[in-house]
């Protein structure tokens, strides 16, 4: 065996190890490149904030003028990967120049309230909360006016965004002559 042959056979394992490292580094890089978008696709529903849930509540004309109407409807709600249909309730008050969609829960402790046409008031049976047709507190313990769902009228139909309930704190809500913030009709 001459000296050159001995040197070549000595360098061979080192070169093989180098190429093996190069190969596995390449595999690791490609895997990481694939894992980030694929993992992001599967995990994103956990971190993405749900967008607003706009719901078609029907023809504006189907809501009587000056008479609150309780409506029940189904809406799709997304939680993580799961989307399911849930039943929702709202009170719609249509007046000559505006329409307001109220969350159906009393702002005291969340009981369901109802409309009393004879008294022209919303009443909450739990602790005697009383609200005007505009959702302003008239009596009882509720700390703020009724919460409303932002709503809009398009092509004669009423739509409400049921995801953000406008929860306005004490003292910041104008419950005077203008009542609650209305949708333009
Ligand atoms: Fe309505 Fe208490 S929950 S008054």
- The number of beta carbons lying within 10 Å of the beta carbon of residue 64 is 11
- 7: Cβ below 6 Å to ligand 1? no
Q: From residue 127, how far is each of 102, 123, 170 by CA, in Å?
A: 19, 9, 19
Name the DSSP class of 46. Answer: H
* Residue with CA nearest ligand 1 atom 3: 109
The reported pLDDT for the residue numbered 101 is: 92
pTM: 0.66
Q: Are 133 and 120 in contact (CB under 8 A)?
A: yes
**Is residue 168 pLDDT above 60, yes or no?**
no
Mean pLDDT, all residues of the chain = 79
* Reported confidence tier of residue 86, pLDDT bands at 50, 70, 90: confident
The reported pLDDT for the residue numbered 39 is: 60
Q: How many angstroms separate the alpha carbon of residue 33 from the centre of ligand 1? A: 55
Tokens (6 digits) for 6: 């001995």
Tokens (6 digits) for 182: 């209305």
Q: How many angstroms separate the alpha carbon of residue 142 from the centre of ligand 1? A: 6
């Amino acid at each position: 065996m001459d000296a050159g042959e001995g040197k070549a056979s000595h360098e061979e394992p080192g070169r093989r190890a180098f190429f093996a490292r190069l190969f596995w580094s390449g595999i690791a890089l490609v895997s990481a490149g694939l894992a980030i978008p694929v993992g992001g696709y599967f995990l994103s529903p956990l971190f993405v904030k749900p967008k607003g849930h706009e719901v078609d509540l029907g023809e504006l004309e189907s809501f009587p003028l000056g008479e609150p109407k309780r409506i029940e409807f189904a809406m799709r709600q997304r939680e993580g990967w799961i989307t399911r249909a849930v039943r929702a309730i709202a009170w719609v008050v249509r007046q000559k120049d505006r329409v307001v969609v109220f969350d159906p829960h009393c702002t005291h402790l969340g009981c369901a309230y109802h409309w009393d046409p004879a008294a022209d008031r919303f009443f909450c049976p739990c602790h005697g909360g009383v609200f005007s047709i505009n959702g302003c507190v008239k009596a009882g313990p509720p700390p703020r006016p009724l919460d409303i769902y932002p709503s809009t009228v398009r092509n004669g139909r009423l739509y409400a965004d049921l995801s953000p309930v406008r929860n306005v704190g004490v003292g910041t809500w104008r419950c005077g002559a203008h009542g609650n913030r209305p949708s333009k009709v």
